[in-house]
Amino acid sequence: MTARGKARKRALDILYEADMRGISAVEILDAKAESTEPVSNPYTTEIVWGVIEHADRIDDLLSTYAQGWTLDRMPAIDRNLLRIGTFELLWADDVPDAVVISEAVTLAKSLSTDDSPTFINGLLGRILEIKPKLALD
């Protein structure tokens, strides 16, 4: 796994933990900074802060384009992989779009349900398709 791949996985761990515990990902980052296991890859922090900063817009897009699925109904791993992927597609200009989708699908294959890779690929593909039409802040 590449350094960025590991950073994505670590960002997923942080966002998933925050989601499951019902707390802010900022609290998790702060706790990690004070522990013996600090977040070592700056890209992990960039992803987490990017998802936090754009959370409302990301969740709005996912809710709008996830046909037949609400965010609450999605497996937590999928929900957070989609948040990371959407952040990277729309706001991380230094990451090729195909890499973003491929990395999200790869993580879904190893961490989520059998149907998750196809679902994540399709939804991120739809976000990519409408990307030129979106007004981003």
Residues 116, 117, 119, 124, CA torsion sign = positive
Question: What CATH number corresponds to the domain at position 80?
Answer: 1.10.940.10
The 10s digit of each residue's pLDDT in 23-40 is: 999 898 888 777 777 666
Q: What is the CA radius of gyration of the chain?
A: 14
> Which tens digit of pLDDT belongs to each residue from 35-60?
777 666 899 999 999 999 999 999 99
Can you give the residue range of the structural domain that contains 69? 3-133
Quote the number of domains for the chain: 1
Residue 9: its H or E element: helix 3-21
pLDDT tens-digit series, residues 83-122: 999 999 999 999 999 999 999 999 999 999 999 999 999 9
